[in-house]
Amino acid sequence: MMKNSIRCFLYFLICSLGAPFIAAQGTMHTASNAQALPVTKISLFSSGLAYYEHSGTLNAPSVIALPFKMNAVNDALMSLIINDPASANPSVHYQSPQTLLHSLKSLKIDLSDDPGIADIVGRLRGAEVEINAPAAISGRILGVEYRPKSMPPSVMGGQAAEPWLSLLTGQGIRAFNLMDVTSLSFKDPQIDSDIRRALDIIASSRNADSRDLAVNLPGNGSRRVSLSYVVPAPVWKVSYRLDLGQGEDAQPLFQGWAIIDNDGDSDWRQVELSLVAGRPASFIQNLYPPYYLSRPTLPLAIAGAAAGETHDQGYIELHYSGNSSPASSAAKRASAPAMMAEAAEYMIADEDSARARLAGGVIETAGAAAAGDQFEFTIKNPVNIDRQTSAMLPLVETAIEARKTLIFSGANAAGRNINPRLGAELTNTSGMKLPAGPITVYDGGTYAGDALIQFWNENEKRFISYGEDLSVTGTVMRDVSRTMISVAVSQGVMTLNRSEEYITEYTFKNNSSLSKPLLIEHPKNPGTFLEAPEADEQTPLSYRFTVTLRPERELTVLVLETRPLMERINLLQLRPASFLSYASSQEIPPRVKEALQQAVNLRTAVVDAENAAALAENRRLELIQEQDRIRKNLEAAGNQTPQGQEYLRRMMSLDTSIDNLGPEIERLKANTAGAQKALDDYLNGLNL
């Protein structure tokens, strides 16, 4: 109850300040004194953007209010174009996210925290006011205090606090119950102005979901003005209808409708609407909130003595030369001033030319013919769409080329019966680039199914499918084999050239009494080449073959693809078992098999020689180990004992055996080297 009374008093305070404040804050105009400029043109892009153009005739300096949703302010600030021939210095003002709080806190009276009248008066201690309580009394504010007030016993608590205003008047300090004060006004006009300004800021920021851009156009006289910008918008959608007609001579009819959404807070009235199919590059730059950069804090440079430093002699060399002779150095020193002057003249001339380019006022842009993949549809008549509503508008209606066909995809179809798709081959003869969308297909005067189509260029041929033909079944069988093409041996390397063959067998059975065209989409096998049959056309992922299914017949189509494989084998490092494997292979020609068999014999000789040398070397190691064992026994028994004499005799015998093995091992190693050389010479000399 107390709070409501204080709010009522605040209402009387506001009313006592006069009419609501509607004026400029510096040069900023609010929406209260701004006028609207009607939307006359809208272009919706399939990439989720919209181009808006406001235009009209102005006769005097004006402020145009442009309301935007919060998520569109950045785009509006980045793309806004002002076209007013009479305004040399137009400007745009708006509230940043911190405007409300910072602006309210900067005023002499702070309303940022929704204060009551007691808080407002208490914050203005020392200000001179005039109140009616009920007589008119003037004085300066000393402060506000709360005094207890007795309440009826029925009221919970039995006590409450009332705000009392203390004023320094001509009769001394006097206290007044704020509940009894009917009006209050400040003698300081700046406080009155700040109160009005604070209320104006609060009123203009009431809608937290939108912001107004106030476009200030100071021009005079009657002139045509336009404002344009790009903001996010719902993606316009398209849906098509395809009527294949009835009978063989029927002309297929293609119809497209655009679905438009007006999600704004204003109605579209007599708007020129364009729909653009394309994908322009677009991004959001966060221009709306203020940015502050942090800077380092450095100590004051006012104390201490400067340290002594020495500095080397400097020079300027504009051009590098590898000639460092004294004469060339002197020439460079002599030409340095002229070179510096030339560089300065070039820099000035370049700066002037850049400034001239910027100030020229003419910027060439791409013409309509260079719009790339974008295509614009302009609705024939002006459009009226209410705010927060949608509409479906005609986009295209034309006769096109269409040929019905079945479509069978060989991808993921192996080993099972599947039905081919009902489809049609369409050619875009509308003269338009048509955006992607769904197609509802009608055939024989009734609904036949739904299809999808991607972006469709002019005169481009596309296939669509909208159902399955249950009267036709198809199966796919696949097989892989390898065939040896050639074998070559040169300088110890055998090269095997093979061909890997992929055979796909398509079998179709037409159970109906009608002949039907069929399009086979055979998936491409990476790295292979199509051998047969010849494809009618191909896509990046498949080959296409066109066949005709005769009534109540089967049809088999074989597709052959090959992949070349090459294997290089170093015969010098091949093991005997691998030699035998290649020598016995049925893929190897007889001449090569004979050569490989001879290589097997030579390789066997090398292995035998290596084994003999290894055995001799192992025998010598065994004798040396036995000799070491006996030597240890001799040391333990002593060489004067009978046992020691026996150990000494055996060591001498082992020495003789070890000495005799040395020449034998050398001979066996020489045999191994000779056998290896014979093998290497033979393999390196082969040329088959």
Mean pLDDT per block of 10 residues along the chain (688 residues) reads: 37 35 36 73 89 92 88 89 90 75 66 76 84 86 83 56 86 86 84 79 67 89 92 91 81 90 89 83 77 76 50 43 43 42 36 33 27 69 91 88 91 79 90 87 90 88 91 92 84 85 93 93 90 90 93 94 88 75 77 78 83 88 86 82 84 84 86 83 77
Clarify whether residues 445 and 543 are in a common domain: no
**Looking at the domain assignment, is residue 71 inside a domain?**
yes
Tell me how crowded residue 377 is: count the other CB atoms within 10 A of its CB: 24
**Concatenated DSSP letters for 601-666?**
HHHHHHHHHHHHHHHHHHHHHHHHHHHHHHHHHHHHH-TTSHHHHHHHHHHHHHHHHHHHHHHHHH
Report yes or no on 336 lying in a domain.
Answer: no
pTM of the model: 0.58
199 shares its domain with 221:
yes
Q: Residues near 367 by Cβ (< 8 Å), separated by ≥ 6?
A: none
Residue at which a domain ends, from 434, 468, 502: 468
Amino acid at 646: E
C-beta separation of 31 from 214 below 8 A:
yes
86 and 200 housed in the same domain: yes
Take residue 670 and report the two structure tokens written for it: 């020489």
Q: Are residues 209 and 279 in the same domain?
A: yes
Q: Are residues 508 and 437 in the same domain?
A: no
Domain span including residue 482: 473-570
In Å, the largest CA–CA distance within the chain is 150
Statement to judge: residues 537 and 479 lie in one domain:
yes
Whether the ω angle into residue 289 lies within 30 degrees of 0, i.e. cis, is no
Instruction: Please check whether residue 69 lies inside any domain of the structure.
Output: yes
Would 218 be classed as within a structural domain?
yes
**Are residues 62 and 174 located together in one domain of the fold?**
no
Q: What is the pLDDT of residue 414?
A: 67
Residues facing residue 464 across a β-bridge: 424
First to last CA, the chain: 113
Q: Which residue has the tokens 């006592």?
A: 16
In a domain, 359, yes or no: no
Residues 6+ apart with CB under 8 A from 449: 422, 441, 466, 467
Task: Answer with the one of 468, 502, 529 that is the final residue of a domain.
Answer: 468
Residue 209's CB is within 10 A of a number of other CB atoms, namely: 8
What beta strand segments (E) does 187-316 contain? 210-217, 223-232, 237-243, 253-262, 268-277
Structure confidence at residue 342 (pLDDT) = 39
Beta-bridge mates of residue 215:
64, 92
Same domain, 555 and 541: yes
Q: Do 626 and 547 lie in a common domain?
A: no
Task: Name residues whose C-beta falls within 8 Å of residue 70's C-beta, 6 or more positions apart in sequence.
Answer: 208, 209, 210, 211
Residues in the chain: 688
Q: Tell which of 549, 570, 591 closes a domain.
A: 570
Separation CA 312–CA 223 (nearest Å): 67
Tokens of 436: 């992607």
Q: Mention every residue, 6+ apart, whose C-beta is less than 8 A from residue 420.
A: 406, 407, 408, 468, 469, 472, 474, 508, 518
Report how many domains make up the chain: 5
**DSSP class of 589:** -
Within a domain: residue 314? Answer: no
Among 438, 384, 376, CA closest to 262? 384
**What integer pLDDT is reported at residue 415 of this predicted model?**
65
Residues 256 and 405 in one domain: yes
- 398 and 541 share a domain? no
pLDDT at 520 (0 to 100): 93
The confidence score (pLDDT) of residue 199 equals 77
Q: Is residue 511 part of a domain?
A: yes
- CATH number at 139 reads 2.30.30
pLDDT of residue 154: 53
Q: Domain for residue 31, yes or no?
A: yes
Residues 228 and 175 grouped into a single domain? no
Whether the CB-CB separation of 221 and 86 falls below 8 Å is answered with yes
Q: In this structure, what token pair is assigned to residue 176?
A: 């007044």
